[in-house]
Structure formats: C-alpha cells, structure tokens
C-alpha cells in the first residue's frame, strides 16, 4: 500500500462522534476511518459506508454446502456403491436431511468467517498501524487523510472546532504487513522519523 499523512483526533463519546462525522462530511474532508472500542449502530451510514455483502456470501457458501451434501451422498449411495439397506430406496432423502443441514451450516459459517478475515485483513502475525491505542479502550478516534487540497494546519484547526481532542499528525502505512506487536513499529517509521502512537 502506501504511506500517507493523516490528522488524528479522538472523541469521548458517541453523540460527539456522530456530530463530528456529520460536520466532517459536510465540510468535504476525506474521513480515512473511524476507530471505536465497540460497534456503533448507524456509524457506517453516517460515514456513508456501503452496506456489507457478507450476508450474501454466507448464503452462497450455505447453498454450496447443501449441494455438496446432497450430490455427494446421492452419488455415493446411487452410483458409486449402492448398498441395499433392507430393500429400501437408494435415494432416501429424509435420512440425508440431518447431514445436509449440518454441512449447510458448516460451509456457511466457515466460509463467512474466512471471508470476514480476508476482507478485514485479519490473521495471526498481521501487523497494522494503530493511530490511537486507546481506541480499543474508551476513545473514538477519527482519522482524516491529508490531501493536496487542504493544509495540515487547516485540518487540525477544523478537527479542534468540531470538538476532537488529542489532535496530532501521523504518517502511516495504510495496509498491513507481517510483523509482531512486541517488536517493530512499522516498515516506514525509521525512514520518516515519526513517533507513532
């Protein structure tokens, strides 16, 4: 990815955060992201984020499971090795329902979790830049990307005007890299010489 420059500030509670998000969007600044200690209903809409399609993915994984189970068992019991269970039908659908159901759930759940991790780039040894370590505790951190259109001082002043606290400027890698949380700070911190949060 790329190293970019950001103005970072935090809010102390939800209403202030929502207020801030609205004002930033009105003013036309680009919100890089908002980091919160817990899920906040409606924040995605306030920020103008697209709805997630994770549900759809889950459904597709689910029907893949259903199909796998039915076609697999159907093929095994009818084509590959038709066993005679007391003269009963080889195609005994009711008896396959439990396994079909379980595989539907299994495929859907495993698929969704993997997709979730893929989309959010979550995995062991994945290292990311954290703008504010207290955003997993009690601070609602807003990060505005500095573009060519606005000066650093302007954005900082604006952040302060909407009620953000602890405002600072950070250079950060926006993507992820392989690393450990006890050792490195990032692939860029030495070159930039910037104190990271």
Partner 1 sequence: MASIRYESQVRPPLVVGQKGYHEVTEDIVRPIEASPSRAWWIGFLISVGLLTFGIISVTHEVVYGVGQWNLNRTIGWGWDITNFVWWVGIGHAGTLISAILLLFRQGWRTGVNRAAEAMTIFAVMCAGQFPIWHMGRVWMAFFVMPYPNTRGPLWVNFNSPLLWDVFAISTYFTVSLLFWYSGLLPDLATVRDRAKLKWRKLFYGITSFGWTGSAKHWQRHEALSLVLAGLSTPLVLSVHTIVSFDFATSVIPGWHTTIFPPYFVAGAIFSGFAMVQTLLLVTRKVLKLEEYITIEHIDVMNKVIVLTGSIVGVAYLTELFIAWYGQNTFENWAFMQNRVNVFSPYGWSYYLMMGCNVLSPQIFWFRKMRRNLTVTFFMSVIVNIGMWFERFVIIVTSIYRDYIPSSWSTYYRPTIWEVGFYLGTFGLFFTCYFLFSKFFPVIAVAEIKHILKKSGAIYKDKMGALEQEPVEEFAAEYTHGHGHETAHAH
Burial class (CB in 10 A: 0-12, 13-18, 19+), 108: buried
List 27, 63, 123, 191, residue binding partner 1 (CB under 8 A): 123
Residue whose CB is less far from partner 1, 2 or 183: 183
Residues between 135 and 154 with contacts to partner 1, criterion CB under 8 A = 135-138
Query: Is 81 near partner 1 (CB under 8 A)?
Result: yes
Taking CB under 8 A as the criterion, the residue among 60, 105, 167, 194 binding partner 1 is 105
Residue count, binding to partner 1 (CB under 8 A):
74
State in Å, rounded, how far the first CA of the chain is from the last one: 20
32 touches 155 (CB < 8 A): no
- Among residues 159, 169, 145, 170, which one has the least CA distance to residue 16? 159
If binding is defined by CB under 8 A, does position 3 make contact with partner 1?
A: no
Residue 95 touches partner 1, criterion: CB under 8 A: yes
Site for partner 1 in 151-190 (CB under 8 A): 176, 180-182
Gap between the Cα atoms of 190 and 14, Å rounded: 35
The residue within the footprint of partner 1, chosen from 2, 15, 84, 148 (CB under 8 A), is: 15
d(CA 146, CA 169): 9
78 binds partner 1 (CB under 8 A): no
The reply to whether 108 sits near partner 1 by the rule CB under 8 A is: yes
Q: Which of 133/157 has CB closer to partner 1?
A: 133
Q: Kindly tell me which residue out of 10, 24, 36, 158 binds partner 1, with binding defined by CB under 8 A.
A: 36
Query: Mind spelling out the 3-state secondary structure of 102-136?
Result: HHHHHHHHHHHHHHHHHHCCCCCCEEECCCCHHHH
d(CA 176, CA 117): 13
Q: How far is the CB of 90 from partner 1 (least distance, A)?
A: 10
């Amino acid at each position: 990815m790329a190293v970019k420059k950001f103005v970072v500030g935090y809010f102390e509670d939800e209403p202030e955060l929502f207020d801030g998000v609205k004002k930033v969007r009105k003013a036309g600044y680009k919100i890089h992201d908002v980091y919160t200690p817990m899920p906040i209903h409606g924040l995605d809409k306030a920020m103008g984020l697209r709805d997630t399609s994770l549900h759809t993915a889950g459904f597709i994984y689910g029907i893949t499971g259903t199909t796998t189970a039915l076609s697999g068992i159907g093929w095994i019991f009818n084509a590959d090795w038709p066993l005679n269970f007391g003269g009963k039908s080889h195609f005994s659908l009711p008896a396959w329902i439990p396994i079909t159901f379980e595989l539907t759930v299994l495929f859907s759940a495993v698929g969704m979790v993997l997709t979730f991790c893929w989309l959010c780039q979550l995995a062991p040894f994945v290292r990311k830049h954290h703008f504010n370590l207290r955003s997993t505790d009690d601070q609602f951190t807003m990060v505005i990307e500095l573009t060519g259109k606005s000066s650093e001082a302007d954005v900082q002043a604006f952040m302060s005007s909407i009620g953000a606290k602890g405002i600072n400027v950070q250079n950060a890698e926006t993507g992820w890299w392989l690393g450990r949380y006890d050792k490195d700070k990032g692939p860029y911190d030495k070159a930039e010489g910037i104190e990271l949060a």
